[in-house]
């Protein structure tokens, strides 16, 4: 198939593009940053908010759109909303205009906010605590509207915390890469709060495998994508130390924001509908990621 990937040079997008290309698909990358190294990947350097996006869709007419591009943070909230919501609307409009057969969207567990249950299913109430989470939830609603009005089949994947080789440290959402980088270089990692916050961590290979199944399935809907297991920030630090035979203690900083204390995704639905389940537990995933950083 001809598949267009937005954000195809980022951590998730680059992994996805690489696998899709190996599977024999014709891949088109849209990104506002650097060009991919692979010569067989068609690349367009463009912002997803640009009106010129229409020309790319008109020329390429992709069968499937993987919308991965997003801003996690910016100097102001207007930029986040403009990029993540208006940019997504631009892509949706082009997708329906040029008859894309499927739209697969990278959403986030940030749409849930504070949770009432030990694990969070797709039917849990959504009350995001950040503008980023709100932008993802708003885009989800836009996708559903376009399905109802234009019949564009969709899969929405709500990611938990992603980690793995090639993730860049010191960026929003790169907490594992940040911890590993600092401990490998004998620096002190910092934790906002007590470090007891529980998060669901998913290894990049498991995440990409779910995308391939989303490409094949005839199902339509929203799916959680995580490990289904909670691990604290303190445990992540401890596991990295053990792997590297070190004992570097983190520095705890007083958190100025009232964040989510526990975020663990219920992945029953994607297991049932797509026969997907994570294969890489946190210990093996951390070891693979640490090995990558040790080679840098």
Catalytic sites, residue numbers:
132
Distances in whole angstroms, Cα of residue 192 to Cα of each of 34, 48, 71, 211, 275 = 32, 32, 21, 32, 36
> How does DSSP assign the chain, residue by residue?
-EEEEETTTSHHHHHHHHHHHHTT-EEEEEESSPPPS-TTSEEEE--TT-TTHHHHHHHH--SEEEE----S--SSHHHHHIIIIIHHHHHHHHHHHTT-SEEEEEEEGGGT-S-SSSSB-TTS----SSHHHHHHHHHHHHHHHHHHHH---EEEEEE-EEE-TTPPSSSTT-HHHHHHHHHHTTPPPEEES-S--EEEEEEHHHHHHHHHHHHH----EEEEES-S-EEEHHHHHHHHHHHHT--PPPEEE--SS---SEE-B--HHHHHHH-------HHHHHHHHHHHHHT-
- Name 231's bridge partners: 199
């Amino acid at each position: 198939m001809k598949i267009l990937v937005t954000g195809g040079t980022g951590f998730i997008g680059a992994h996805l593009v690489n696998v899709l290309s190996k599977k024999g698909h014709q891949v088109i990358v849209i990104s506002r940053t650097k060009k991919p190294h692979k010569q067989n990947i068609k690349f367009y350097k463009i912002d997803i908010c640009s009106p010129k996006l229409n020309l790319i869709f008109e020329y390429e007419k992709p069968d499937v759109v993987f919308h991965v591009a997003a801003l996690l943070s910016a100097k102001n909230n207007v930029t986040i909303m403009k990029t993540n919501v208006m940019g997504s609307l631009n892509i949706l409009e082009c997708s329906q205009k040029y008859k894309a057969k499927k739209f697969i969207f990278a959403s986030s567990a940030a749409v849930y906010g504070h949770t009432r249950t030990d694990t969070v299913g797709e039917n849990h109430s959504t009350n995001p605590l950040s503008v980023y989470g709100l932008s993802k939830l708003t885009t989800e609603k836009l996708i559903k509207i376009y399905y109802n009005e234009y019949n564009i089949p969709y899969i929405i994947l709500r990611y938990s915390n992603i980690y793995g080789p090639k993730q860049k440290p010191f960026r929003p959402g790169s907490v594992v890469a940040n911890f590993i980088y600092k401990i490998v270089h004998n620096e002190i990692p910092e934790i906002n709060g007590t470090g007891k916050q529980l998060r669901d961590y998913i290894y990049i290979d498991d995440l990409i495998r779910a995308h391939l199944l989303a490409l094949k399935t005839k199902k339509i809907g929203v799916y959680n994508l995580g490990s289904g297991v909670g691990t604290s920030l303190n445990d992540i630090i401890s596991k990295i130390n053990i792997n590297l035979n070190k004992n570097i203690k983190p520095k705890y900083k007083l958190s100025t924001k009232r964040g989510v204390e526990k975020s663990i995704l219920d992945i029953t639905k994607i297991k049932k509908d797509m026969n997907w389940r994570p294969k890489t537990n946190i210990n093996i995933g951390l070891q693979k990621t640490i090995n990558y950083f040790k080679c840098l």
